[in-house]
Structure 1
Amino acid sequence: MTAGLWQNWVLPGIWTTLQLLVYGAALAAVVAFTVGTARTHRSRFVRFAAAAYTEVFRGVSALVLMFWLFFVVPPLAGWQLLPMWAAVLALGLSYGAYGAEVVRGALNAVPTAQREAAVALSLTPWQRLRLVLLPQALPEMLPPLCNLLIELLKGTALVSLLGVGDVSFAAYLVRLATQESAQIYGAVLVVYFVIAMVIIRAMKALERRAKTRVGAVVR
């Protein structure tokens, strides 16, 4: 693979993949914490609505949702999503539903004594969540959320089916131009592996930091 092909196609593809990862992860995080917290709400209606969202989007293929947002929504709504944003929306909504279950489980795992202590201190529900529940639940969330982030990284390859120039799509074009399948796809494997390792290291560092802060909250 020549340097020109790498510079003109593969490097822009890597940048597009990173953008999809960051934007998709940001949307998924908002969805996960919003819906996951709603799953623990006192209101039965709120819990039902959050559970319905989770079950629907966990049961729908991210690829089909991506196609639906890109091909079906425009004729109905009268406006067209760019392929990039249709992909981000589909990935964020799908992986956010999985993340919501992680958040719910971690919040429910906080010891009852901690909840009762927060109530005894007359903390508001928002204060209980922010000062007591989330700091203790966060270390439990991070390992499964790290796994979801890696899955999201691999899921970004789906966008190539919409013609988005991510690293997978760039690899396909380079393979057509050079007929060097082993070399180009070997390089792409390394690219995904390196990005995944950076994510893992960052999440492990965040997990260690969260665990050191939990001791202060419990004491």
Structure 2
Amino acid sequence: MGHISKETNSWRNLKNGIESKLFEPIKIGAWNLRSRIAMAPLTRSFADDQTGVVGEDIVEYYRKRSADGVGLIISEGTVISPRGKGYPGIPGIYSDEQIKGWKKVTDAVHKEGGTMIAQIWHVGRLSHHELAGNLPPQAPSAIPAEGLVSRFRKPYDVPEEMTIEDINEVINQYAQAAKNAIAAGFDGVEIHGAHGYLIDQFNSDITNHRTDEYGVTLLKD
């Protein structure tokens, strides 16, 4: 969504047309949204690739969307741990510096009257050891994805089948990431559980061949 001034003809035409209700405020739970427009999570890959910290370019990127009248912004997917990373330039929400970086973003969005929630994720087997501190990807079962890592253009690694201890650790990482997001000033948290990433991998018999309590059959029951 590009920058649209409220004084432009494009903005007035939208407000005067059939979509005009989109620009009316709405209350959803504890949120008083300035409009009914929500920005979906979009991977930008603008974060520092080594630290996962967002910079001033991301602050300005989200500030502009809020200034343009977006009522609710959902952040790009933000990883809960180094092993959750699947693409270059993906931000994290597990370190103090990452929290500080996101706090600048949420402060800018709030100053423009917007509301913002964090989308947190773990890509599971769709990671690569070179993106995750030379650690193998984690997955329900040791079944590699086919093809090449998106934007990295290298074959997927064979993932490490997660132990019960690993699963509990990741659950705790999700919980901590949610706490970190609130500390960073986000108004809420969305968990990315689709599109073939870690949570989704547990729900598919293609990627989950476990026979314990985290096997796909028992999870469906």
Under a length normalisation based on structure 1, what TM-score does the superposition of the two structures give? 0.29
| Structure having the larger proportion of residues in strand | 2
More helix by share: 1
Bigger RCO (CA 8 Å, 6+ sep): 1
